[in-house]
Amino acid sequence: MKFRAAVLRQPRTPITIETIEATGLQPNDVLVKVAAAGLCHTDLEVIEGQLVYPMPIVLGHETAGVIEDVGSAVDRKRIGERVVLSWNPHCGHCFHCERDQPILCETYIGHGPQAVQIDGATRLRLDGEPLRTMFYIAGFAEYAIVTDACAIAMPADMPLDRACLIGCGVMTGVGAALNIAKLGYGESVMVIGCGAVGLSSIQGARLAGATTIVAVDRNKERLALARTMGATHTATVPEDDAVAIARGATAGRGVDCVLESAGNSAAFRLSAEACRTGGQIVWLGKTGVNEDVAFRWGALMGEKRIVRSSYGGARPNRDFPMLARAYLDGTLNLDAFVSRHIKLEEINDGFEDLRAGRGIRSVIMF
């Protein structure tokens, strides 16, 4: 079949809308008619050449839609399901999968940099040549082909332009609070960076019962939004002393947990300074893989625990429906995340907004 997709042919060049072709479904594949796809900062990293993939490639990994066809090994009753797509297929039996770390699956890690499907093959073609797939989804297209296990059913009344956000930014942030940090009632938290992941982290901390939540960002509008989502204190950097604010709210100790989602050297250093002795730090943001980050050694002492998390400990079959229910019952705010609905042809404008820090998420509507 043929359909339209947003294709990146070279880093630091505009994305173009092309007609591409898909091969037939493999037994465990599902064909999803895409309804909505969010523009994530990780997509921008590929465009800017910071995250290197073979080209040409179709980006997009925050995706929701409707199953239109299935492979021979998939229950045909799934046709018509409204789904959110997960970008973490995994084998289930390698060293890391058996240790309950699917994000480190050897097959997933091995094939990811090749921008192919989990079986090592491509499903898309452009001008007769293989077309690469980002994060096993390639969501900036009218259709996506993923494995059956990566298409997670949604409630019938879940809006798909909100549902798509669950697939990456919301899962990463809420999951960091609930699954990685395992926050408890009455704990204190600092969230550094109030984009989609950070605002989700704030809401995850609130859902966990944290009573002191310090939001840190450069943008005062985002901090005001953070207040509506559960932040009890805010710090505008670099004007405010975020460490002093954290200590002032915690009897001088520092916060029990820092959830960092800004992805820069200053944010990483702040996370170590603001965390109390015996506390924990979860790094969600990232900088260049070959860049150095320096710390004051004393800030790392005191039995602090540091972990890096890419997907908030996601168990999509468990977590995606939970997040959808939280949205539908009003305890998880996703409406404020959608800054702009755009057409596929407006994708470059959407990424310009992301570069400039305008809004939280642009969502392509198909």
Q: What is the pLDDT of residues 39-76, one digit of tens each?
A: 999 999 999 999 999 999 999 999 999 999 999 999 99
Enclosing domain of residue 198: 173-308
Are both 221 and 132 inside the same structural domain? no
pLDDT at residue 290 tops 90:
no
Q: What is the pLDDT of residues 152-163, one digit of tens each?
A: 999 999 999 999
User: CATH number for the domain including 219?
Assistant: 3.40.50.720
Are both 232 and 287 inside the same structural domain? yes
Q: What percent of the chain has pLDDT over 70?
A: 100
Residue 42 lies in a domain: yes
Please give the span between the terminal C-alpha atoms of the chain, in angstroms, as a whole number: 17
Residue 70 lies in a domain: yes
Residue 318 lies in a domain: no
Domain count, the chain: 2
- pLDDT score for 270: 98
Q: What is the pLDDT of residues 76-106, one digit of tens each?
A: 999 999 999 999 999 999 999 999 999 999 9
Q: Which residues contact 178 (CB under 8 A, 6 or more apart)?
A: 204, 207, 208, 312, 313
172 neighbors 310 (Cβ within 8 angstroms): yes
User: pLDDT confidence of 212, banded at 50, 70, 90?
Assistant: very high
Are both 8 and 38 inside the same structural domain? yes
Are both 125 and 202 inside the same structural domain? no
Residue 21 lies in a domain: yes
Are both 342 and 265 inside the same structural domain? no
Are both 149 and 177 inside the same structural domain? no
Are both 79 and 142 inside the same structural domain? yes
295 neighbors 269 (Cβ within 8 angstroms): yes
Q: Which helix (H) or strand (E) holds 364?
A: strand 361-365
Residue 260 lies in a domain: yes
Residue 30 lies in a domain: yes
Are both 96 and 190 inside the same structural domain? no
User: CATH number for the domain including 140?
Assistant: 3.90.180.10
pLDDT at residue 289 tops 90:
no
Q: Give the SS3 label for residue 228.
A: helix
| Range 23-47 average pLDDT | 96
- pLDDT score for 288: 83
101 neighbors 23 (Cβ within 8 angstroms): no
107 neighbors 86 (Cβ within 8 angstroms): no
Q: What is the pLDDT of residues 109-119, one digit of tens each?
A: 999 999 999 99
Are both 86 and 136 inside the same structural domain? yes
Residue 117: CB atoms within 10 A of its CB come to 21
Residue 54 lies in a domain: yes
175 neighbors 149 (Cβ within 8 angstroms): no
Q: What is the pLDDT of residues 227-262, one digit of tens each?
A: 999 999 999 999 999 999 999 999 999 999 999 999
Residue 80 lies in a domain: yes
- pLDDT score for 68: 98
- pLDDT score for 203: 98
